[in-house]
Amino acid sequence: MIIRPAKRTESVREYYFSRKLKEIDRMNAERVASGRDRIINLGIGAPDGMPPAAAIDALRESASQPGNHAYQSYIGIPQLRQAFAEWYARYYGVTLDSEKEIQPLAGSKEGILLISLAFLNPGDKVLVPDPGYPTYSSATALTEAELVPYDLKADNGWRPDFDALEKMDLSGVKIMWTNYPNMPTGASADMELYGRLVDFGRRHGILVCNDNPYSFILNDNPLSILAVPGAKDCCLELNSLSKAHNMSGWRIGMVAADAEIISQILKVKSQMDSGMFKPLQLAAVEALSQGPEWFESLNAEYRRRRVLAGRIFDIIGADYDRDSSGMFLWGRISPGNRFLNPEAGDASLGEQVSDKILYNAGVFITPGFIFGKNGRDYIRISLCAKPEILECSAEKILGI
């Protein structure tokens, strides 16, 4: 390489799933060449269902219109911002000003980095859940801020320990990331928890960033932290069509917050893109108009899959919550599990089980260590696989 990479890149590695998928691609090439089945991937939460038909029709129709292929406004078309506002009012009971308090995004993952760039200076501190979505950590590192992990543990329902938080040195903390229904654990929030988070953020001058893409999945009561009175004083919320509308590849998300916060995020975003493709925005308007029957149908399928994923954990011998929310099942591995490798050295229990199942059964299950030290004894199954694939996976693992 003719020049050296920026020092900030030394603090991050290529995303785990990017690296693991390369390995799986190499394994698949060898397996196909030798006449064996391809690896079954139960790792990534990419919905396999179809988006709402109305959204597809709107995309097709609007893409055929000559005037819809130009650059678009950085803040999104008014119809999309209004659709997001109506969605929040209808399902979360939250009133948002569509002109000032909503910013459409290319998926909520983009928003994590935009927020970090907008508000963090080198040396600022960020509270990041452990276990938690790895992008919270990588965005913190890329902005040269200091990551301050806070524990989520099973014996506390995978919720923050506020007594422990209050005893921490919170000087310099600017942002706290939180996420419920939680990824990877499937734990749900309630308004009491959100109320405590708002109180914590307000008293300590911390911006609480609630990442909320799983609120409709296996959850009959979707909640928003912005429903807490006064939440906009110290909170923002990310949301997305990826999970609840089977539109992960479309990259349509949003951030909702006080107008001043939105304006700061827009400063960064407007330097990085030239607006979302208009047909995508018009399709999103249709998706957001879906009624309760859409989510009822979606969750009926996910409940069926949760039972089948549970059968896999029963075969493995992993402990799990049969009523968890979100699109993953999170299972604990105990010492002495028959899938452990006594020669694995420092590998976590979850990684040992994941690797043995991958290399011996041809099924990939995510090891929990990638979400933090509190995930080392866990594995995670995605529910984004058809029932017959989950059943096949169970048979393959049973045969080890």
* pLDDT band, very low/low/confident/very high, at 353 (cuts 50, 70, 90): very high
Residues 6+ apart with CB under 8 A from 251: 106, 107, 110, 242, 280
> Can you tell me the mean pLDDT for 95-118?
97
> Confidence band (pLDDT; 50, 70, 90) for 58?
very high
Confidence of residue 9 (pLDDT cuts 50, 70, 90): confident
Name the residue ranges covered by the structural domains of the chain: 7-49+293-398, 68-289
Domain over 68-289 is classified CATH 3.40.640.10: yes
| Residue 322 pLDDT class (50, 70, 90 cuts) | very high
Give per-residue pLDDT as tens, 125-134: 999 999 999 9
pTM to 2 decimals?
Answer: 0.95
The CATH number assigned to the domain with range 7-49+293-398 reads 3.90.1150.10
13 has pLDDT over 80:
no
Distance CA 216, CA 71 (A): 32
Reported as a single tens digit per residue, the pLDDT across 244-301 is: 999 999 999 999 999 999 999 999 999 999 999 999 999 999 999 999 999 999 999 9
Pairwise CA distance, residues 17 & 271, whole Å: 28
Does 68-289 match 7-49+293-398 at the fold level?
A: no
- State residue 385's pLDDT score: 97
Evaluate whether 177 touches 236 at the Cβ level (below 8 Å).
Answer: no
